[in-house]
């Protein structure tokens, strides 16, 4: 494919960064030309990460009449990279765009990865091997008239599974409030067995979610712990220990604070969730859920 891409560029006299796309047959690995884009693709940070090259800088250099400073033989791919396109859209409604104001925005911050080469820092990756190319900030707006992409989230690791796990952690620590987004869908996609095994095709999404995406299944105990932490956070900030009406997704529950713990009132059942244990579990387990708590007719949202 590389040889065919170079031959095509030479044939049309093209001298700049470009991307030639092919479709590959799963049966015999034969490939077929799809299209050529005379620009860098959205996914170019993946190539930059595994090759250690700054494609944007090289594109500008060639446009300025300079020659490339390296040849194909100088490039030896190392490691694995993945990119998630984070969008302001509603996956539960056919991925329709969701313009609006971004009330809260926090990009992922993971712990350092000792296997990350120092050269990646020059390519805008942090010490964890995570890079976020974003075009919005807290208080900004996703406009109706443009592509609703919020950011590109790129993760790098020494192998595919390490990178996948890192991407899940990054998605879990990404906070976007005010507009619906596809973070939950991206987490679900990367947790699917077919994706884990690397057996995805162009039909992966319609085959996996035949009736559309309606949310990822959550382990009940983990969701209840996250809900408890949200109740505690709200009650502490509001100074209120009275009954709290809580909504998480399509589920409504009643809870109250008692001796620093959260008491869930499931009919006649009283389930006590100890806050100290919840905090430890949340911090260590990466549980993320969006919870709306209503106290004294005031609505607040928490993503924990």
> Which residues pair with residue 62 across a beta bridge?
none
* Count, residues in the chain: 304
Q: 48 catalytic, yes or no?
A: no
Q: Locate tokens 């319609």: which residue?
A: 206
Of 26, 35, 197, 268, the active-site residue reads: 35
**How would you label 39-78 residue by residue, b for 16+ Cβ within 10 Å and e otherwise?**
ebeeebbbbbbbbbbebeebbeeeeeeeeeeeeeeeeeee
Enzyme catalytic residues: 35
């Amino acid at each position: 494919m590389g040889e065919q891409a170079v031959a095509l560029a030479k044939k049309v006299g093209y001298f700049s960064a470009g991307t030639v796309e092919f479709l590959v047959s799963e049966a015999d690995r034969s490939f077929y030309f799809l299209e050529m884009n005379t620009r860098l693709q959205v996914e170019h940070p993946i190539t930059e990460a595994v090759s250690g090259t700054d494609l944007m800088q090289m594109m500008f250099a060639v446009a300025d009449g300079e020659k490339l400073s390296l040849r194909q033989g100088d490039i030896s791919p190392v490691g694995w990279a993945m990119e998630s396109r984070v969008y302001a859209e509603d996956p539960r409604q056919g991925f329709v765009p969701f313009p609006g104001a971004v009330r809260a925005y926090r990009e992922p911050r993971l712990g350092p990865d000792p296997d990350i080469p120092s050269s990646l820092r020059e390519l805008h990756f942090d010490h964890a091997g995570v890079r976020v190319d974003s075009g919005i900030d807290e208080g900004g707006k996703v406009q109706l008239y443009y592509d609703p992409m919020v950011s590109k989230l790129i993760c790098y690791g020494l192998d595919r599974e390490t990178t996948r796990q890192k991407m899940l952690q990054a998605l879990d620590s990404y906070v976007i409030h005010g507009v619906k987004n596809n973070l939950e869908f991206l987490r679900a996609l990367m947790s699917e067995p077919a994706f884990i095994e690397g057996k995805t095709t162009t039909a992966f999404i319609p085959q996996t979610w035949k009736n559309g995406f309606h949310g990822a299944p959550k382990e009940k105990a983990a969701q209840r712990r996250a809900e408890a932490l949200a109740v505690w956070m709200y009650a502490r900030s509001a100074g209120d220990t009275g009954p709290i009406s809580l909504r998480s997704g399509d589920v409504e529950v009643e809870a109250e604070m008692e001796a620093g713990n959260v008491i869930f009132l499931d009919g006649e059942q009283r389930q006590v969730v100890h806050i100290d244990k919840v905090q430890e579990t949340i911090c260590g387990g990466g549980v993320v859920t969006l919870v709306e708590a209503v106290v004294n007719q005031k609505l607040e949202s928490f993503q924990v």
